[in-house]
Amino acid sequence: MTLTIEKLSVKYGPVQILHEISFSHVKGEVLCIIGPNGSGKSTLIKTLAGILDPCEGTITLDKRDVSEISRNEVAKRIGYVPQDFQYLTSSTVLEAVILGRRPHVQWSLTRHDLAKVDTAMEMLNITSMAEKMLTEVSGGERQRVFIARAIAQEPDYFLFDEPTSALDIRHQIDVFQMIKNIAGSKNRSVLVAVHDLNFAYHYADRVILLDEGKIVSMGTVDEVMTEDNIISVYGVPMQFIKTDAGRYVLPDWKKAEERIPARPVNVM
Amino acid sequence: MRSTSVYLSGRKQKLIVLFALLFLLFLTFIYALNSGSYHLPFDRIFTILYQSVTNPGLLESTPSEKIVVIDFRLPRVLLAILTGISLAIAGCVMQALLRNPLVSPFTLGLSSAASFGAAMAIVFGGSIMPFIPPEFQNGVIILCAFLLGWLSILLIYGISRMKGSSSATLILAGVVIGYIFTAGVMILKYLTNDEKLREITLWLMGGMWGANWGAVVIVAPITLLCFLYLESLAWDLNTLSAGDDVAKNLGVNVNGLRIKGLLISTLAASACLAFTGIIGFIGLMGPHIGRMLIGNDNRYLIPCSALLGGLILLISDTAARTIMDPIEIPVGVIMYVIGGIFFMFLILRGKHRVIT
């Protein structure tokens, strides 16, 4: 089970966002994509999710070109969790999770479909809120609903686009534990675009560092998340700390503030 | 298993609501057939309906009853139901496609375009369609209203081809096209004589005056086929509620769905509007009441909106022709009053569902 991307290029109108991206993603691994704003993380995730069309290059699922597979078949294999929650404002939690069965059903949900929805909701511990409106649950719970929807879709590959960007630290850890669990115990592949380098440092099996739509470095955490790479891409000196309690990436505040001088701001 | 039981009990309740609405529509249908200056016992209505299907020859012995019930009231009642269904499903589908609860055939310029078509036909008469014989002058109005209604959606389609089919683009295009056609109607009203001005105004108010069996025979299959087609899109419409990105990832061709859905819902709405003139609010009220009753699942919401649309318009039309009997009020006027009160209620009530 392999997702292979070869020389993938994507454009928004005349502007090229991704330049000849190539990598493979194998089963059971958490692959984190890191990079500064505008580096192309979300574009890469959306292209793999079938939301954007590449202008060049190929995406192959188990040696089959996805452009030659029906939309529905691809939908059964690749699931996507977006970063924003602006939609589904008038749906219940259950209705949102049920949407994940769309690639598998013609019209009516079977007992099998409902069992899958049940399992997904139980996994994410949201069964008790099935009848609640999505507007009535917290941001963290809503993220779990979206993950449950993707699990109900039963894909082999999960794509997360900055899944913790709007969450507090407890819910961020909660989400990444779920992501790790999906990849580990469920033996699925997970690709996560992430801003917080600490999460990539702690949870990733492999990391891709993107900058200006190109892969700067790709490999294990130790290979990619080096001081040189991070400084050259983010322009911020970082410290990499390993303790018994975990691994941390922290800005070297003094050096960072010397590099990024404060801008004069005139408050009107 | 809790979510399964929630789903199954919700589905059961939704089906009960649908059957209750169907029964209510049937009762209203019978009541409407018996409403008017010429009264008949209810059992006589059933007998006439039964005989008209099984043995039409028997009805010739009571010609006045046949004329009143079969030739006048029945096509009018059926056209009211079909128009209500068409406008409500069009509104329901357009709202789902564009993820905007305030979208209706009006917002997308369809009504303004159909009005312009009708006004042109009224002002210029048969000269714009010389191939139609003079005795079918009314047909020119119907055809022009229908074609212009379609033209509006084709213009929106053209714009979406150039600028993408995001909901914002489509709504904006619809609003702009609506204004342009409204300007056209205003110019025609300004330039024409008093008699034609009155005719245009009456058409714009909407009513079931044009009801006859010919209209029913044309509108019924269009409504039925459009309903079935739009119902087949229900799952895809549901996925759109999660945003275009999630819908695409779930295997939905979002652009294709928007265009197909808009074209077919426009076909349903414009076929009816061509015969009835402008009837507002059904496209908003049907789906909104439906959502309050059974939620957002379009598999149930589309038929629920259809039944509610048919029911509301039938009740309104029956009221329109009986409230000030023998004077008939345009049903469009009644709809504006009911619609206004309903939306005030909606604003005050907030978002609550009967069934989750």
What CATH number did the domain enclosing A55 receive? 3.40.50.300
Residue linked to tokens 């069309």 = A53
- Mean pLDDT for B88-112 is 89
Q: Cα–Cα distance between B68 and B37 in angstroms, integer?
A: 10
Of A46, A99, A107, the CB nearest to B250: A99
Q: What is the mean pLDDT of residues B43-70?
A: 79
Number of domains in chain A: 1
Burial of A183 from C-beta contacts in 10 A (0-12 / 13-18 / 19+): buried
Nearest C-alpha of chain A: how many angstroms from B244?
Answer: 8
How many CB pairs below 8 A link A and B? 106
- For range A29-50, the mean pLDDT: 94
What pLDDT, on a 0 to 100 scale, did the predictor assign at position A161? 93
Residue A58's pLDDT band (boundaries 50, 70, 90)?
A: very high
Q: What is the average per-residue pLDDT within B69-75?
A: 88
pLDDT one-digit tens code per residue, A105-152: 988 899 999 999 999 999 888 999 999 998 889 888 888 899 999 999
Q: For residues A136 and A130, give the distance between their C-alpha atoms in angstroms, rounded to a whole number.
A: 11
In a domain, A200, yes or no: yes
Question: Looking at residues A229-243, what average pLDDT do you find?
Answer: 87
pLDDT of residue A175 exceeding 80, the answer is: yes
Residue A268: inside a domain, yes or no? no
In which order are the strands placed within the sheet that holds A15-26?
A: A15-26, A2-12, A56-61, A64-65
- What is residue B353's predicted lDDT score, i.e. its pLDDT? 60
Chain A, 225 to 244: residues with Cβ < 8 Å from chain B are none
The pLDDT of residue B134 is 66
- Range B218-229 burial, b when 16+ CB lie within 10 A, else e: bbbebbeebbeb
Q: Among residues B198, B181, B209, which one has the least CA distance to residue B123?
A: B198
The predicted structure's pLDDT at residue B352: 57
Q: How confident is the model at residue B354 (pLDDT cuts 50, 70, 90)?
A: low
Confidence bin at B350 (pLDDT 50/70/90): low
Residue A168 forms part of a structural domain: yes
Kindly state the average pLDDT of the residues B110-135: 82
Of chain B, the percentage scoring pLDDT greater than 70 comes to: 95
Per the CB < 8 Å rule, is A102 touching B248?
A: no
Confidence of residue B88 (pLDDT cuts 50, 70, 90): very high
Residue B356 has pLDDT above 70, yes or no: no
| Nearest residue, CB atoms, A71 vs list B253, B296, B356 | B253
Average pLDDT, chain B: 87
Task: Give the helix/strand (H/E) hosting A240.
Answer: strand A238-243
Q: Residue A221 sits in which domain range?
A: 2-259
Is the pLDDT confidence value at B3 over 90? no
In 3D space, the residue among B124, B151, B147, B149 whose CA is nearest the CA of residue B137 turns out to be B124
In a domain, A264, yes or no: no
Locate all alpha helices (DSSP H) within chain B, ordered by sequence.
2-34, 42-54, 63-65, 74-98, 110-124, 137-163, 167-191, 194-205, 213-232, 234-240, 244-249, 254-276, 282-294, 298-322, 331-349
pLDDT for the residue B279? 87
- Residue with the bigger pLDDT between B206 and A42: it is A42
Q: Is residue A266 part of a domain?
A: no
According to the model, what pLDDT value does residue B355 have? 55
Residue type, B244: D
Contacts with A163 from chain B: Cβ below 8 Å? none
Residue of B104, B107, B118 whose CA lies nearest to B283: B104
pLDDT digits (tens, 9 = 90+) for B158-190: 888 787 777 788 888 889 999 999 999 999 999
Mean per-residue pLDDT over chain A, rounded: 89
Structurally, what CATH architecture does the domain formed by B2-349 represent? Orthogonal Bundle (1.10)
Q: What's the pLDDT score for residue A96?
A: 93
User: B117-128: b or e for each residue (b if 16 or more CB lie within 10 Å)?
Assistant: bbbbbbbeebee
Q: What is the pLDDT of residue A206?
A: 95
A114–B3 CB contact, under 8 Å: yes
Nearest chain B Cα distance for residue A257, angstroms: 38
Query: Could you tell me if A79 lies within 8 Å of chain B, comparing CB atoms?
Result: yes
Full DSSP string of B191-246 = HS-HHHHHHHHHHHH--STT--HHHHHHHHHHHHHHHHHHHHTHHHHHHHTT-HHH
pLDDT digits (tens, 9 = 90+) for B212-269: 888 899 999 999 999 999 999 999 999 999 999 999 999 999 989 998 998 899 989 9
- Of the pLDDT bands very low, low, confident and very high (cuts 50, 70, 90), residue B135 is low
pLDDT computed for residue B315 by the predictor: 94
What number is the ipTM of this complex? 0.91
